[in-house]
């Protein structure tokens, strides 16, 4: 994952077995001492409580007559504000509280990607319906179990959509020309909630709304799409948040921060794991889940072989199309 994809070792050449038992290297960060009781209670409950409350609020707004599309915005905005506040009270890494000249760029990418997603999602949903009808001759609505409770429909939608997201995300790391568009996400020098929206628009266009394609093809309705969007937004913010989180057994269900911090490691053998966007299931199935218990993820993140990665919004947007310059700038900083 690190550096120019065409020159880096292939992830399938990295031995996955035995990594978790590797002894910590010299100077590697050990686990932090036991936290206070209040911190532990917070770390174990804030993510599931916020997700449940956000989904319940969106469902309540839809039952009150607000359209599914309009029900998402206020709920996600409140959840983001809560997560941003939690970072100040229960930070995972105090060093990550300090901005690195990244906030304006991340806000710009967030606004741009929100527009891209809003424009593409209806088209993706429509394409899913047309593809299903053309392939099977069966109306999608006849396939989707709309008689199930809405929570069960959401679970099925996440499960089905996650296979697409896992495959697309892993391809972003393994296919050289796709890596160019995914590298901006990994160029972040710290993890905080706004990293969940730090993507190149081409990355978002290829991966983001696509997880709804199979769900639409099966005939899910707008309520399910809205709840998937709420879940993905809240989960994504927590996944990147600088918040003390300890999910225990839930780390076998959700692709949460404890797992995802290793995905942002500068070490190739550590970073090419935990590709799940919302669920960790497909990482378990394909052997890419990894969560060491003997040490904490590195505080210094980023792309180790591309230390001069562009930082401004215009430069990040142009970077995939000027890839040779980005690689050359990084090479000039390395010792001869």
What lies within 8 Å, CB to CB, of 39 at 6+ separation is 90, 244
Its domain, for residue 209, covers: 36-300
> Quick one: average pLDDT of 285-300?
93
The answer to the question of residue 336 being in a domain is: no
Q: Among 137-146, 211-220, 259-268, 288-297, whose mean pLDDT is lowest? A: 137-146
Q: Is residue 48 part of a domain?
A: yes
Q: In Å, what is the CA distance from 144 to each residue of 124, 140, 217, 277, 279? A: 17, 7, 9, 23, 21
Q: What is the pLDDT of residue 10?
A: 35
Q: What is the pLDDT of residue 35?
A: 65
- Domain annotation covers residue 255: yes
Question: 30-44, 46-60, 210-224, 315-329 — which is least confidently predicted?
Answer: 30-44
Question: Does position 7 have pLDDT exceeding 90, yes or no?
Answer: no
Q: Is the pLDDT of residue 28 over 50?
A: no
Give backbone dihedrals phi and psi of 72, rounded to 5 degrees, phi first. Answer: -75, -50
Q: Does pTM surpass 0.85?
A: yes
Inside any domain, residue 171: yes
Strand partners for 254: 279
pLDDT of residue 123: 81
Phi and psi at residue 190, in whole multiples of 5°? -155, 160
The mean pLDDT value for 266-270 works out to 82
Contacts 24+ apart (CB under 8 A), 39-44: 39/90, 39/244, 40/246, 42/86, 42/90, 42/244, 43/90, 43/244, 43/245, 43/246, 44/246, 44/247, 44/248
d(CA 150, CA 197): 27
Read off the pLDDT of each residue in 20-39 and give the average, rounded to a whole number.
54
Q: Which residues pair with 279 in a beta bridge?
A: 254
Number of domains into which the chain is organized: 1
The secondary structure of residue 137, as a DSSP letter, is: S
Backbone angles phi, psi at 31, to 5 degrees: -65, 145
**pLDDT reported for residue 141:** 61
Helix, strand, coil percentages in the chain from 3-state DSSP, rounded to 5: 65, 0, 35
Task: Examine residue 120 and state whether it is found in any structural domain, yes or no.
Answer: yes
Mean pLDDT of all residues in the chain? Answer: 86
Given a cut of 80, whether residue 230 has pLDDT beyond it is yes
Residue 317 CA neighbour count, 13 Å, CB half: 11
- The owner of tokens 């996440």 is 158
Confidence label for 26 from pLDDT (cuts 50, 70 and 90)? very low
Is residue 15 predicted with pLDDT exceeding 80? no
Whole-number pLDDT of residue 291: 94
pLDDT at 138: 62
Task: Measure CA 169 to chain center.
Answer: 9
DSSP, residue by residue, 246-298: --GGGGGTB--HHHHHHHT-SSHHHHS----SSB-HHHHHHT-----SSSPPP
254 backbone dihedrals φ, ψ, rounded to 5°: -105, 150
Predicted confidence (pLDDT) at residue 228 exceeds the cutoff of 50: yes
The pLDDT, as a whole number, for residue 32 is 57
Give the pLDDT of residue 274. Answer: 97
13 within some domain: no
Assess whether pLDDT exceeds 50 at residue 53.
yes
Q: What percent of the chain has pLDDT over 70?
A: 85
Grade residue 294 by pLDDT with cuts at 50, 70 and 90.
Answer: confident
| pLDDT tens track for 94-113 | 999 999 999 999 999 999 99
State the average pLDDT over residues 47-70.
97
Q: What is the pLDDT of residue 329?
A: 87
pLDDT for 298: 92
pLDDT tens readout for residues 102-154: 999 999 999 999 999 888 888 877 777 777 666 666 666 668 999 999 999 99
pLDDT higher than 90, residue 253? yes
Going by pLDDT thresholds of 50, 70 and 90, the confidence category of residue 2 is: very low
């Amino acid at each position: 994952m690190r550096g120019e994809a065409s020159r880096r070792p292939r992830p399938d050449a990295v031995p996955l077995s035995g990594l978790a038992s590797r002894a910590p290297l010299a100077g590697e960060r050990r686990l932090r001492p036991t936290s206070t009781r209040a911190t532990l209670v917070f770390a174990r409950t804030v993510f599931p409580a916020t997700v449940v409350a956000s989904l319940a609020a969106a469902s309540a707004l839809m039952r009150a007559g607000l359209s599914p599309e309009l029900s998402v915005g206020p709920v996600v905005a409140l959840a983001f504000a809560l997560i941003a506040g939690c970072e100040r009270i229960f930070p995972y890494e105090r060093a990550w509280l300090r901005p690195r000249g990244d906030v304006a760029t991340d806000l710009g990418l967030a606004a741009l990607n929100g527009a891209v997603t809003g424009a593409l999602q209806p088209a993706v949903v429509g394409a899913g319906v047309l593809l299903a009808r053309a392939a099977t001759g069966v109306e999608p609505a006849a396939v989707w179990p709309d008689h199930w409770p809405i929570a069960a429909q959401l679970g099925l939608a996440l499960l089905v959509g996650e296979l697409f997201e896992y495959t697309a995300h892993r391809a972003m790391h393994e296919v050289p020309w796709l890596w160019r568009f995914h590298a901006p996400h990994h160029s972040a020098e710290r993890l905080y909630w706004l990293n969940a929206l730090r993507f190149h628009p081409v990355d978002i266009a290829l991966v983001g709304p696509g997880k709804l394609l199979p769900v639409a093809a099966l005939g899910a309705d707008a309520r399910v799409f809205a709840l998937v969007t709420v879940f993905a937004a809240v989960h994504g913010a927590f996944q990147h948040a600088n918040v003390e989180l300890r999910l225990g057994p839930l780390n076998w269900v959700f692709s949460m921060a404890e797992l995802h911090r290793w995905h942002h490691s500068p070490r190739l053998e550590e970073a090419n794991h935990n590709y799940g966007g919302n669920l960790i299931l497909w990482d378990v199935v394909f052997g890419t889940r990894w969560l060491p218990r003997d040490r904490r993820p590195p505080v210094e993140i980023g792309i180790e072989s591309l230390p001069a990665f562009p930082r401004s919004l215009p430069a990040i947007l142009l970077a995939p199309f000027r890839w040779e310059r980005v690689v050359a700038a990084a090479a000039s900083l390395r010792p001869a």
